[in-house]
């Protein structure tokens, strides 16, 4: 079955495809499907609200099942920030270097044992009949002191799991433990039940 993914981010699309395609789920961006999706303003106050805004809009515009996700970094020492504002933490949406620089500046006096954080991801899949599947995943880690590695995107270079950053992991290693990987595994299980009906 073909699903539209409500993102223009090819790295995110590829991550979804790696996990879902072995289950027979074909993931397409709007561009790949030959349609144009409205850029949805993320006005929600939770990851779930933002994921639903994207998936409902994409489903309505294409008539196809649509997968929307919202994810972010929650840092304990910063009372859960940047949270739903992760992509625009420093002001400009998607400016990864600026977001990382601001995060490290805000963490400069935080001792190692208090640098705990987690990546959170909520995925919403909306169907043309109005039904939906909502799942979440998380990955616990710590905020490093400087960027390491050149893989991944977003905060990956400063999110440490053990002695490696997300940006130092292979795609396969990251998929096994990441917040998005965990959410997509839960989605895959739910989709398998839907497909069986």
Q: Which residues contact 16 (CB under 8 A, 6 or more apart)?
A: 5, 27, 67, 69, 180, 184
Closest CA to 57 of 28, 36, 74, 83: 36
Residue 70 annotated in active site: yes
| Set 70, 92, 156, 175: catalytic member | 70
Residues 6+ apart with CB under 8 A from 91: 98
CA angle 47, 53, 58 (to 5 degrees): 130
- HSE, side-chain direction, 13 A CA sphere, residue 171: 9
Helix (H, G, I), strand (E, B) or coil at 33: helix
Contacts of 63 (CB under 8 A, 6+ apart): 128
Cα torsion 152, 172, 28, 12 to 10°: value is -20
Enzyme catalytic residues: 70
């Amino acid at each position: 079955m073909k699903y539209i993914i409500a993102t223009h981010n090819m790295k995110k699309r590829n991550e979804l495809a790696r996990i879902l395609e072995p289950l027979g789920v074909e993931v397409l961006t709007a561009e790949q499907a030959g349609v144009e999706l409205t850029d949805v303003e993320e006005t929600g106050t939770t990851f779930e609200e933002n994921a639903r805004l994207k998936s409902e809009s994409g489903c309505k515009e294409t008539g196809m099942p649509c997968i929307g996700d919202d994810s972010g970094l929650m840092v304990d020492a910063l009372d859960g920030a940047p949270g739903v504002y992760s992509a625009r933490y420093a002001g400009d949406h998607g400016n990864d270097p600026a977001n990382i620089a601001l995060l490290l500046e805000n963490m400069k006096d935080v001792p190692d044992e208090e640098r705990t954080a987690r990546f959170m991801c909520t995925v919403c899949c909306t169907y043309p009949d109005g039904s939906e599947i909502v799942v979440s995943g998380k990955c616990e880690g710590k905020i490093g002191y400087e960027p390491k590695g050149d893989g991944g995107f977003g905060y990956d270079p400063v999110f440490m799991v053990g002695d490696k950053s997300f940006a130092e992991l292979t795609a396969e290693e990251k998929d096994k433990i990441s917040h998005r990987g965990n959410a997509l595994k839960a989605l895959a299980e739910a989709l398998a039940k839907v497909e069986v009906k």
